[in-house]
Amino acid sequence: MKHWILACLSGLLLSSPTAQAQTHQLTQIWETDTLLRTPESVLYDAKARLLYVSNIDGVPNEKDGKGSIAKVGLDGKIINAQWVTGLNAPKGMGIYKNKLYVADLTDVVVIDIDKATIIERIAVEGSVFLNDITIDKAGAVYVSDTRVFKVYRIEKGFVVTLFQNLQGPNGLLALGDELLILDKGRLVKQLASGALANITEGMDPTTDGIEQVQKNEYLASSWNGVLYYIYADGNKQILLDTRPQKINTADIGYDPKNRIVYVPTFYGNKVVAYQLK
């Protein structure tokens, strides 16, 4: 009887939707050369058919003017390693109406994509370590500060604190009326009421980038070297773990049409592309 019960339980586990779904894997397609300088974030631009990569090129928390944005082709070839220069320690990025918004320590830098020039620097008072950016459909910009535990909202030039007293917010993702936040090993979602609801937890605490694969399913990276697939029920699958090799996986980019994940390796000075299956 005991063996029969165990067999039935095993069958139920194997036949459950999540158990069946947890078969995703990554296959490496290409990697860039090492001309990039401490690449922290990758942003896929479907319109331009290329990648933007933020290069810290120095100390991640210093205003040294060495930071830049690179352009990389979808074949992994670097188009321009220093497309826009004069930043400090650029990290997360977002695009809205042909402008590239970049988190740059204590400012959000706005770049005119056509002219490849910085047209505005929006100071975020009280910030120390602005990290990731996401932009909603109305053009509101959300930016996290991992060191002061806040998420800010910028709209029409006004900066307000949206959330404070978080644990260590980094990756952000605006989806319709929802805002997702990676917060030191957990993924939370802002509800219509404004409160935060937990989606999953227990990830490596250096959670960094977040991308949607399909409704209620996400990819999340941790800077230490882990890439997760998060299912609708909150279960997680480790797709990549490069911690033993001490290879970082920072703020990922994603091409949803072709299911390609772009991973910046930070101190590895390159971006690696993987096919998601």
CA atoms within 13 A on the CB side of 19: 8
Give the long-range contacts of residues 164-169, CB within 8 A, separation 24 or more. Answer: 168/205, 169/131, 169/144, 169/145
Residue with tokens 């797709």: 239
Q: Which residues make Cβ contacts (< 8 Å) with residue 96, sequence separation at least 6?
A: 135, 139, 141
Q: Are 53 and 69 in contact (CB under 8 A)?
A: yes
Are 109 and 87 within 8 A, CB to CB? Answer: yes
The angle formed by the CA atoms of residues 204, 258 and 268, to the nearest 5 degrees, is: 45
Mean pLDDT of 22-50: 96
Name the least confident of 13-27, 119-133, 191-205, 240-254: 13-27
Give per-residue pLDDT as tens, 196-216: 999 999 999 999 999 999 999
Residue 21's SS3 state is: helix
Predicted confidence at residue 194, as pLDDT, reads 87
Q: Which two tokens stand for residue 86?
A: 């004069």
Sign of the alpha-carbon torsion through 237, 145, 261, 32: negative
In the predicted model, what is the mean pLDDT of residues 58-85? 97
pLDDT at 125: 97
* Pairing mode of beta strands 107-112, 226-230: unpaired
Domain 24-276, CATH: 2.120.10.30
The one-letter amino acid code at 206 reads T
In the predicted structure, residue 232 carries a pLDDT above the cut 70: yes
C-alpha span between 89 and 275 (Å, rounded):
29
